[in-house]
Amino acid sequence: MNTHLRCSFAHHDASYVLGALSPTERLEFERHLETCDECSRTVRALAGMPGLLDLVDPRVLEDPPVDPPLPATLLPALNRAVETRRRRRTVVVAGLAAAAAVVVAVSVPTVLDRGDDPAPVTGTGTGTSTSTSAPSADVETLAMAPLGDVPVKADVALEQVAWGTRLLVTCTYDADWVDVALPDEVDYLLFVTARDGSTEQVGSWASVDGTTMRVPAATSVARSDIAAVEVRTTGGRVVLRVEA
């Protein structure tokens, strides 16, 4: 029996990940995640879906074009119309299934602490953390250099895996590090640039003032083919960069 269905918040996970909850509902659900392992696991599984769905060609989700006028023989025309819609539905399902297959490797950003020296933890849900085993010997950690006077610092760990590269960004945002007034929360994007010049967004998170966060991400680009990793604002400004 699926005990998760008995949870009163069982149907909030997708709406939470997609940002469809009201502020009050979001706060209630985030508090619930601190005590519900099943909901936390579901949120982690869905966390990467919005970004992955952005990669699906929007044309496959558009309304199908109007079918041409039916010929005099009705039955052959109906058969063709049914086959056309079946092919379109197959394309949509295949695209979404491919996106969902990658989501299992993606987790939500994890708040570590309010200091500058994060303990070794990994995310188990929004705003939660637990101890983890020692990092793999194949993980390479690089300090990211700030571009200008910026209120954020970070390093990125890169690990070669069978399907590409796993990344883990440890990031601290502190508005007091610069002499201009900044908001208490800033959205950042993580980009990977390959040696062939292609660029891919692989992560996003909201940095809270005075908080260190650990942000997992992944790319199909092999470790040896990664040329650089960048942290950007949603406006496109590069604030941190490291040659990889």
- What are the boundaries of each domain within the chain? 3-46, 53-103, 110-243
Per cent of the chain over pLDDT 90 is: 25
Report the alpha-carbon distance of residue 15 to residue 25 in Å, rounded.
10
Q: Any idea which residue has 């009050």 for tokens?
A: 24
Asked if pLDDT for residue 3 goes beyond 50, the answer is no
Tell me yes or no: is domain 110-243 CATH 3.40.50.
Answer: no
Q: Any idea which residue has 């979404």 for tokens?
A: 96
Q: Which of 190, 201, 174, 180 is nearest to 231 (CA)?
A: 190
8-state DSSP, 11: T
DSSP per-residue letters across 82-114: HHHHHHHHHHHHHHHHHHHHHHTT----EEEES
- pTM for the predicted model, two decimal places: 0.49
Arithmetic mean of pLDDT, 10-31: 80
Asked if pLDDT for residue 87 goes beyond 50, the answer is yes
Strand order in the sheet with 199-208: 145-146, 238-243, 226-233, 185-194, 199-208
Q: Which of 142, 124, 122 is nearest to 133 (CA)?
A: 122
In a 3-state reduction of DSSP, which class is residue 213? strand
Res. 11 pLDDT band, cuts 50 70 90? confident
Which positions ≥6 away from 128 have C-beta within 8 Å?
A: 33, 34, 40, 110
Arithmetic mean of pLDDT, 151-167: 92
Rounded to 10°, the helix 37-46/23-33 angle is: 120
Asked if pLDDT for residue 163 goes beyond 90, the answer is no
Residue 228 is predicted with a pLDDT of 96
Asked if pLDDT for residue 202 goes beyond 80, the answer is yes
Report the alpha-carbon distance of residue 144 to residue 170 in Å, rounded.
10
Residue 29 is predicted with a pLDDT of 83
Report the alpha-carbon distance of residue 63 to residue 72 in Å, rounded.
26
Asked if pLDDT for residue 101 goes beyond 80, the answer is no
Asked if pLDDT for residue 158 goes beyond 80, the answer is yes
Instruction: Produce one character per residue of 47-66: b if its CB has 16 or more CB atoms within 10 Å, e if not.
Output: bbbebbbeebeeeeeeeeee
Report the alpha-carbon distance of residue 244 to residue 236 in Å, rounded.
20
Task: Supply 133's token pair.
Answer: 């085993």
Residue 25 is predicted with a pLDDT of 83
Q: 42 phi and psi, to 5 degrees?
A: -65, -40
Beta bridge partners of residue 214, listed in sequence order: 110, 170
Q: Which of 156, 153, 187, 189 is nearest to 172 (CA)?
A: 153
Res. 170 pLDDT band, cuts 50 70 90? very high
